[in-house]
Amino acid sequence: MTESFSGRIDKLRSLLDEAECVLIGGGSGLSSAAGLTYSGQRFTENFGDFIKKYGMSDMYSAGFYPFKTQEEKWAYWSRHILLNRRLPPALPLYRRLFELVKDKDFFVVTTNVDAQFYKAGFATERIFAVQGDYGKLQCAKGCHDELYDNEDLVRKMAAEQKDCRIPSALIPKCPVCGKDMEVNIRKDAYFVQDKAWYEAERRYEIFCREARDRKLLLLELGVGYNTPTIIRFPFEAMTYKNKDAVLVRINAQYPGAMSRKRQKDAFFCRGYKRRVESDGLTHRCRPRCIRKRRKNAKRQSVSHVMRKRKPECLRSYPSGGRGNKIKKSQPPKHVYYVH
């Protein structure tokens, strides 16, 4: 690894210029780098009453808190949705990313549910938000496949809540079965994939299929091991299968790839408490030791993560798991690192 940091940044610019198409994979690290952090000062300033009452430590773990009543649950979630989905405008990092790829043939697949890609100008028909949207409600038991916008209700909940509770009259109920409603984010077997979800999946499959024989740049931003079978592992597999594809991975904690693909990937990480800037892409790394990376990340099957059938774009490439071992005799490719 003798190439300088600036040299690797120049290489990334060159790869972007030369690419015929760009596939962007956006994970939670991208939104954190953009400013939507779930812990620290941003959390303590906005959730002081919940911290005092429930002992919460950050917004991510708070999302799993077992509230005893719907009034308490929606008091928290209305504020969470307002802070992370409704109030923030298109953030500079996302706007800069759009400027970099807007003249390219591109597509976005993301596990983020904050709608930042939509706000930044990325066309709806070029986005596949696999894990849902904070801005939508669904039946908690998935009794029907329709989603409901929650903006007016969430703003009212946030305005009228007292002592970490909302008025009982504001608790959302399913218009079909009469049971409780839930935020449309994937967390159990009842996650609703509506018609728009399947249309986005189909467009993603088509893009991946057409990119197989083209000069493809896979730009993976802030994707870790929470749900690696959605972006991380498929991106590695697509990189290996397409001789003209290059994977650029920008990640504060998990910048590496599987060893058999090292010669075709570009990893960007500036380490402890440092900053990565890549032609406008800025990632502020959290002070966590790289040595704590997960050694044995659970590789959930895509059928479990999505609950429905596995998309063709993921079926078409080896997952890297058992039964899909790639022979050592296959040709090596190029590697670019930024540490």
CATH number of the domain enclosing 293: 3.40.50.1220
Q: What domain count does the chain have? A: 2
Which amino acids are annotated as binding site for Zn(2+), given as ranges?
A: 139, 143, 174, 177
Q: Which of 6-20, 84-98, 304-318 has the highest mean pLDDT?
A: 84-98
Shared domain for 166 and 154, answered yes or no, is yes
Residue 216 lies in a domain: yes
Shared domain for 163 and 265, answered yes or no, is no
Shared domain for 217 and 283, answered yes or no, is yes
Q: Is the pLDDT of residue 234 over 70?
A: yes
- Return d(Cα 257, Cα 39) in angstroms, integer: 27
Lowest mean pLDDT among 51-65, 239-253, 281-295: 281-295
Residue 51 lies in a domain: no
Shared domain for 111 and 139, answered yes or no, is no
Average model confidence (pLDDT) across the chain: 83
Residue 49 lies in a domain: no
Find the mean pLDDT for residues 34-50.
Answer: 98
Q: Is the pLDDT of residue 324 over 80?
A: no
Residue 287 lies in a domain: yes
Residue 42 lies in a domain: no
Find the mean pLDDT for residues 223-229.
Answer: 94
Task: Identify the pLDDT of residue 256.
Answer: 76
**Residues of the domain holding 170:** 65-87+133-185
Residue 302 lies in a domain: yes
Residue 8: band (very low, low, confident or very high) from pLDDT cuts 50, 70, 90: confident
Shared domain for 179 and 199, answered yes or no, is no
Which of residues 152, 185, 218 is at a domain's end?
A: 185
Phi, psi of 72 (to 5 degrees): -70, -45
Residue 160 lies in a domain: yes
Shared domain for 151 and 293, answered yes or no, is no
The contacts of residue 54 (CB under 8 Å, 6+ apart) are 62, 65, 164
Phi, psi of 48 (to 5 degrees): -55, -40
Shared domain for 269 and 253, answered yes or no, is yes
Beta-bridge partners for 338: 268
Q: Is the pLDDT of residue 72 over 70?
A: yes
Q: How long is the chain?
A: 339
Find the mean pLDDT for residues 121-149.
Answer: 98
Q: Is the pLDDT of residue 65 over 60?
A: yes
Q: Which of 17-26, 244-253, 311-320 has the highest mean pLDDT?
A: 17-26
More confident residue, 74 or 286: 74
Find the mean pLDDT for residues 127-140.
Answer: 98
Task: Identify the pLDDT of residue 75.
Answer: 98
By percentage, how much of the chain surpasses pLDDT 70? 75
Task: Identify the pLDDT of residue 254.
Answer: 85
Shared domain for 225 and 289, answered yes or no, is yes
Q: Is the pLDDT of residue 308 over 60?
A: no
Task: Identify the pLDDT of residue 253.
Answer: 87
Tens-place pLDDT, residues 263-286: 555 555 543 223 333 333 433 333
3-state helix, strand, coil in the chain (%, to 5): 40, 20, 45
More confident residue, 74 or 300: 74
Which of residues 120, 154, 185 is at a domain's end?
A: 185
- Return d(Cα 61, Cα 226) in angstroms, integer: 13
Shared domain for 14 and 151, answered yes or no, is no
Task: Identify the pLDDT of residue 286.
Answer: 36
More confident residue, 261 or 328: 261
Lowest mean pLDDT among 28-42, 197-211, 255-269: 255-269
Between helix 70-81 and helix 151-160 the angle, nearest 10°, is 110
Task: Identify the pLDDT of residue 194.
Answer: 98
CATH of the domain at 166: 3.30.1600
Tens-place pLDDT, residues 19-37: 999 999 999 999 999 999 9
Shared domain for 299 and 248, answered yes or no, is yes
Which amino acids are annotated as binding site, given as ranges?
A: 139, 143, 174, 177
Residue 53 lies in a domain: no
Taking the alpha carbons at both ends of the chain, their separation in whole angstroms is: 9
Shared domain for 140 and 205, answered yes or no, is no
Which of residues 185, 212, 229 is at a domain's end?
A: 185
Shared domain for 178 and 139, answered yes or no, is yes
Lowest mean pLDDT among 50-64, 174-188, 304-318: 304-318
